[in-house]
Homo-oligomer: A and B are copies of this chain.
């Protein structure tokens, strides 16, 4: 059966590279979530937009579902292929296609890793400012599919802000060139923004033209130890008013303990409940003086228990490692990940309720908090208790998420700040989007993917439940 389907694909797309080895099916059939058993039909590695188009057109005729696949570093199951889908990997479409000095844009194929984009921009003394820890393995197409955020959103915004133009193949098999990389273009609906964050459910990003910016001025990094969550909000307000913040990331003592257990060096002699890594412009003496003044303002009011100001790039990198090492240090515990956001102004009230819920809902569980306070974005990782099976653990976490979603709903938040909905957050989409909105999204999906072959079952079901 499968071999006939594959033969038909190869006939429809001559020269297409395919993999069907069990090891490949497993490797390419999942992302960084580990909850589903990979079971794709095959992995296709197109080399051009035209091949992608041919694959989609074939899939429509044959009724085969397609799972677009970048670096598969996603945390919501958006790239999982567990039901005989064809995985369409962009791995062999990873070229930098062009740079324009006047427009300050870089055009790349969708499979290009984020870090390769950073490097290509740097070669031209410019910067692509979207950044996060999986930069070496994630693909630019995947960052577009989830409107990836990361550690510099406070200064530079999300991926959405940096996409000048997109080439996409829709679920109907059409190749669309969206926005032509124009700065000003008021000529109908901006379909580019519709594709950004659509998690492969409307089509496949094959090429992107990215805006670049001047590299940031020299920066410095400080690590602060704080006594409470309330202090965190106050310190954020003080630093934001004194400094040009590039990043403001927090984590808890438990997060730090895991990173230290993973080999990092303890920054302070004592343990504190909360920590902040703040990066800020320090281009001249005035800015350095402002940093000291801000730090003193925090210390005087007792908001900060201890602090380090980096004195070298190496030390700055070491401080960053304490924050960036968290996800990796938790991986072995198969954490249940919450990635929620509220307006920054709603954070204190939301947190009070969420902390109470999680303490009550997870007695004895280890809950690790970290995230991007300046963007209203919290990551709440619940670690699997020793000896608890995955099914029981996920069921238990899902119950708590039901209540967390209610709290988010009440505070006007989102069940997914930057990871996407995928499979993991799908049961709670309605906490963030109204029934009317979901009906509109369903209608739009039908327009762009009339045969329902694009990443089916992800984000929301194409047809409402009967």
The interface of chain A, by Cβ under 8 A from chain B, is 100-103, 146-147, 149, 153, 158, 160-161, 170, 174-178, 180-191, 193-194, 196-198, 202, 237, 341-345, 372, 375-377, 412-421, 425, 429, 432-434, 436-438, 440-441, 443-444, 446-448, 459-460
Contact = CB atoms under 8 A, between A and B. Distances in A.
27 contacts: A100-B343, A103-B343, A103-B345, A153-B184, A160-B190, A176-B437, A178-B437, A180-B432, A182-B343, A183-B341, A183-B375, A183-B377, A184-B417, A187-B415, A188-B197, A188-B421, A188-B429, A188-B432, A188-B438, A188-B441, A189-B441, A189-B444, A190-B193, A190-B197, A191-B437, A191-B440, A440-B448
A443 B447 contact: yes
A177 B176 CA distance: 29
A151 to B, nearest CB: 12
A190 B196 contact: yes
B345 A186 contact: no
A197 B188 CA distance: 6
A185 B441 contact: no
Given A434-B176, A447-B447, A153 B341 contact: no
B345 A184 contact: no
- Chain B CB count within 10 A is highest, among A185, A197, A375, for A185
Contact of A345 (B102, B174, B342): B102
Copies of the protein in its oligomer: 2
A174 B436 contact: yes
B341 A429 contact: no
B341 A177 contact: no
Nearest to A284: B286
B191 A197 contact: no
Nearest to A233: B102
Nearest to A422: B186
Given A188-B433, A190-B196, A440-B170, A343 B180 contact: yes
A371 to B, nearest CB: 10
Contacts of A342: 182
Contacts of A196: 190
Given A147-B186, A188-B197, 10 more contacts: A147-B190, A149-B184, A176-B436, A176-B440, A180-B414, A183-B341, A183-B343, A186-B420, A187-B416, A189-B444
A196 B186 CA distance: 9
Nearest to A428: B187
Contact of A184 (B189, B198, B414): B414
A363 to B, nearest CB: 29
A306 to B, nearest CB: 26
A153 B183 contact: yes
Contacts of A345: 100-103
A176 B436 CA distance: 7
A439 to B, nearest CB: 8
Contacts of A446: 447
Of all A-B residue pairs in the complex, the 10 with the closest CB atoms, nearest first, are: A443-B447, A193-B193, A102-B345, A184-B417, A174-B436, A185-B414, A187-B432, A183-B375, A180-B412, A184-B341
